[in-house]
Every structure is written in structure tokens, then in C-alpha cells.
Amino acid sequence: EPEVTQTPSHQVTQMGQEVILRCVPISNHLYFYWYRQILGQKVEFLVSFYNNEISEKSEIFDDQFSVERPDGSNFTLKIRSTKLEDSAMYFCASSTEWGSDTQYFGPGTRLTVL
């Protein structure tokens, strides 16, 4: 069964460093998402992406964040200058349809900012 994959599974970085989290969505999916979950808290939406542009973003997704689909398979989340509060589990998801279809999540990348 096709699945969303994410790399790395765990990333440790120093505050102020840039990190890139990588995702390979399911191949025939058109919509891509990033969510995050701070330890012990709710899963929160960050951004959705379709047709090579951001469709929607949350207040969390400020200028420090960016997303890109550099080729036909990868979908990346970049945090330019990490802060301690960026420490969280980051989930990538993908879906085939807008607004009415299942979103399939990857296993997550645990980001630890020291």
C-alpha cells in the first residue's frame, strides 16, 4: 500500500540553524500539507500546498518557514533560523482531493532544537 515517507526520523539542531525536513507524498496525490505536534499538545496545521503554491497557511507559518516541491516527488519544509519553540514532531500529509478526502500522514520527523 502506498504511504507517505519522511526523512530524517529525528533531527537535532542548534538554535539559529536552518533545517530542511523532507517528505515524499503518495505519488498520485495532488495536495500536500505540513502539520506539527509539540510534545503533549494537539496536532496543528501549518500549511497546505497545491499546484506549486501555498493554498493556506496558519499563523504559525511565519517568514521563518517555507515549503517547496523541488521535483516531482519531494515536498520539503524549511525552517530558516530555528528557535527552541520549534521543537516538535513535524508531519507531512497528502491527499487526492480538496476538502473532502482523507489525508494520509507520514511517520513524522522529530525536531529537537538545542
Partner 1 sequence: SQQGEEDPQALSIQEGENATMNCSYKTSINNLQWYRQNSGRGLVHLILIRSNEREKHSGRLRVTLDTSKKSSSLLITASRAADTASYFCATPTGGGNKLTFGTGTQLKVEL
Binding mask 36-75 for partner 1 (x = CB under 8 A): ------xxxx--x------xx-x-----------------
How far from 73 is each of 37, 38, 43, 100, CA to CA, in Å?
Answer: 24, 27, 25, 23
By beta-carbon proximity to partner 1, the closer residue of 17 and 44 is 44
By beta-carbon proximity to partner 1, the closer residue of 7 and 17 is 7
Beta carbons within 10 angstroms of residue 113's beta carbon = 19
Distance CA 86, CA 112 (A): 8
Distance CA 95, CA 10 (A): 24
Q: Are 26 and 6 in contact (CB under 8 A)?
A: no
SS3 call for 49: strand
Contact window for partner 1 (CB under 8 A) among 13-21, 31-39, 63-71, 80-88: 31-39
Of 23, 108, 111, 113, the one binding partner 1 by CB under 8 A? 108
Contact window for partner 1 (CB under 8 A) among 18-26, 29-37, 61-69, 75-83: 29-37
Where does this chain bind partner 1 (CB under 8 A)?
31, 33, 35, 42-45, 48, 55-56, 58, 89, 91, 93, 95, 98-108, 110
